[in-house]
Chains A and B, each alone.
Chain A
Amino acid sequence: MMPDGIRFNSMAARMVVGALVLSTVLVSPAALAFPKPGTSGSCGPDITYRFTGGGWNPGEKAAIRDGLEDWEVVLDFDGGKVATVTMIPDFGQIAVRKVATPNGGGVGWSSCGQGLIQIQEDLAIASMESVARHEMGHILDLTHTGKDDSFGGPTPAMATCVGLQGKAMSQDDYGGLIHKQTSQQREAIHANASFEQGTSWWGISNIASFFTTTANASDGTTSARIRPNSSTGYLFQTMNYAAAAGEPIDARINIRRLDSSHTGVMSFNILKRKVTYASPASCDYPTGKNQNVRSEGSWVVVRVETCTPSNSWATCTEGTLYTVPSGDAHDLRITVYSNVKTSSGTYATVAVDFARIRDRS
């Protein structure tokens, strides 16, 4: 599938810079996990940086480079890097500086507009790497996430008000960056929607076989194959995408049967559950909520779509937009079903690619 948008690294996009990545975020009340893009300014997906100031030692620089450049692991739907982070001595656009007291009084601070990342100078080297990763996330237009990763993985790099140890690139970091910076008009809100990163962050229920392959993908280099045990089996991904109130979403998947003798339909659902974040404010969120403390409501299926796969890739798109209710945030989940069977009546393996919920605002 070809991209239907343009990359967000145009000069115009680069010029859309906020004065401060952190402090100028003004998003709607429910935007929490990785809020709607375009509100805080971005330096674009291709970043260069330089070390500046004195007092650096090689170990610190190496750790910070690891943190800053960690964002290159995120792959786009086409298998390419969503963002590049490159050190250019003396000339990189973002100056990385050690300071006793970063602006804001925390352990780190960043500003796309000022071309600056500050890291507290007396941190342990491992902590510097964690702070560097987090600050580069801000430079790439990401805001904060909660401490719990959508997939139950490590504490996201973009979490705040948490300890530095144990933070790592998580599903929410991947999903946030993809949402902010990919060429799909920033619509896809998933990490690994097109399985370019294997089966990461996809879960299965009552599925006999789930794997990815580089053979005959609909986009990029890989696609997935699933074979359910029964019609109740499904592939799913959950995300703490707290879409803004009133924001329209839909879903689309690419599907294909693997043999012309196979018959049946495939379907996908959008589920949501209301999430209430603690109040009053405790941590640093635009909404004045503490995203680290949340309670969850009930999962509800809000959209269903069914399509019949053919011998070639085809898109199956939810016909009606779903508007996220007002009020608190909502977690979203996409589930993919198949009752495609072989001529002998057993469940068949089917191909799935680029399965995603889309932000259609």
Chain B
Amino acid sequence: MKPSKRLRSSYVTACVLITSLATAACGMPSARLDSPPAASTVSPPTVSTPEWETGGECSGDYLDPAEEMADLDSWWVLDVASATSGAPAGNSYDSTATHLNPGGLSSLENAVSPGEPVVVSNEAFSQLQASSTGEGIVGSNLSRSGTQIVHVIAVAAAEGRVKFLGVCTDRFEVPFRLMVEANHPTMSEVDVLVEAARTGDFSEFLDSTAGPDRQHWTQMDPSTRQFDIESTPEAILKELVAIEIEWRISSGWSKLSATLCGQTSIGWNTCLSLEAGDDQESIVLPAYYVPGEGMDLWLLDEEAAFPTPLAQVATITSEVLGASDRIVVEITGQPQTLEQAIDLLANEASRSEIVAIE
């Protein structure tokens, strides 16, 4: 297939990184792809809508996308301009020339067809970043292995972006993009991907797709973290004093969509939905406090968003906390709305009338 005039007129219109299980080493500068893959081993993509796409979602069971990429034996860099421009000087990447014709499935077929071995230079990639458009290439059912069927295709799109092609490729694209933004804010996605392919080091991508590790409790902001049996270190909980808070909430308050939470200097206690008190005379919950310190009680929204408490309900002094194993907090009154409740609590006089601590 001959490249179109439009393609020929552009030094680099699109670049496709294709992986397969071909024998060539993965983009190593010293390794040449002497023998292009045999066309007979390539299965043309299916044109009709695959049955497994009819549900409107990405289907199939996948490995971690980064592992899939990292485990591949080779990356081929395919440069549409190579047929007309020849091998640029300053070779950096082994590649296979192909006449990529953006806009059709046939381009994929061609992409893994025999072509001239060429090398794409760093310079070519830099131009690619400025001028390429990889849009319009559609792939489906792009895996597999044991053969030389295309497995993953990454297209260097406009402005240095990388677009993965094929089925469900957002599973590659999104974590890759997030990784680049986080780790290489000054680099283009193309550069990052090419470098990973060249060195075979996908560790950053692997880390990014694993998702952020849960932050250790001790590293969280004390003003927004919560004591939790499953995440707070046992050693910390042991340093705290465990008590019970008996909440007595009037029916007026229990109609509100809000929560009550106790805050200490190092974390919040488990919160109580006002709604839970609707059919209860009282509710007893365990709570922790820091020895020698008091505890602030707050009204929060129904999700208990700690950064944005709605109003302070009361402060339980250290003296009161130290005097008993059970603190009774009684909230009376009949606020009709959450706003009214906040107003009541905002006024010290009305707050002292409706909140009692024993």
Between A and B, how many residue pairs show CB distances below 8 Å? 203
User: Which of B52, B212, B306 meets A293, CB within 8 Å?
Assistant: B212
Q: Is B133's beta carbon under 8 Å from chain A?
A: no
Question: Which of A110, A274, A281 is most buried by chain B, counting CB atoms within 10 A of its CB?
Answer: A281
Cα–Cα, bound, A282→B168 (Å):
8
B residues 275-304 near A (Cβ < 8 Å) are 275-276, 278-280, 283-286, 300, 302-304
**Residue A213 lies at the interface, judged by CB distance under 8 Å to chain B:** no
Residue ID in chain A nearest B257 by CB atoms: A325
Please tell me which stretch of A21-29, A74-82, A308-316, A342-350 contacts chain B, meaning at least 4 of its Cβ atoms lie within 8 angstroms of it: A21-29
**Given A282-B175, A300-B273: A232 and B286 interface contact (C-beta under 8 Å):** yes
Q: What separation, in Å, do the CA atoms of A138 and B54 have in the docked complex?
A: 17
Q: Are A298 and B303 in contact (CB under 8 A)?
A: yes
Q: Are A100 and B146 in contact (CB under 8 A)?
A: yes
**Which residues of the other chain, A, contact B59 by a CB distance below 8 angstroms?**
20, 22-23, 103-104, 109, 284
Q: Which residues of B contact A (CB under 8 A)?
A: 43, 50-55, 57-65, 67, 140-147, 149, 166-168, 170-171, 173-175, 209-212, 214, 226, 228-230, 242-244, 259, 261, 268, 270-273, 275-276, 278-280, 283-286, 300, 302-306, 325
Nearest A residue (CB) for B229:
A205
What chain B residues lie within 8 Å of A162 (beta carbons)? 63-64
Contact at B272–A103, with CB atoms within 8 Å?
no
CA distance A205 to B140 in the complex (A): 51
Contact A160 B62 (CB under 8 A): yes
Given A284-B171, A300-B273, A231 contacting B228 (CB threshold 8 A): no
**Chain A interface residues toward B at CB < 8 A:** 19-20, 22-26, 100-110, 120-122, 131, 134-135, 138, 147-148, 152, 160-164, 203, 205-206, 230-232, 234, 236, 238, 267, 269, 271, 274, 278, 280-286, 288, 290, 292-294, 297-304, 319-320, 325
Sample 9 A-B pairs with CB under 8 A, ordered by A number. Answer: A105-B140, A120-B145, A160-B61, A162-B64, A203-B229, A292-B209, A298-B226, A301-B285, A304-B276
The answer to whether A105 touches B270 (Cβ under 8 A) is: no
Identify which of A26, A101, A120, A300 contacts B303 (C-beta below 8 A): A300
Residue of A148, A281, A293 near B58 (CB, 8 A) is A281
Specify which chain B residues have a CB less than 8 angstroms from the CB of A304 in the assembled complex: 276, 280, 283
Q: Is the CB of A161 within 8 A of B65?
A: yes
Q: How far is the CA of A104 from the CA of B61 in the complex (A)?
A: 8
A103 near B61: Cβ-Cβ < 8 Å: no
- B286 — which chain A residues lie within 8 A by C-beta? 206, 231-232, 234
A131→B57 contact, CB < 8 A: no
In the complex, what distance in Å separates the CA atom of A205 from the CA atom of B288?
13
A299 touching B228 in the complex, CB below 8 Å, given contacts A134-B61, A271-B270:
yes
Known: A231-B284, A280-B170, A282-B171. A101 touches B58 (CB 8 A): no
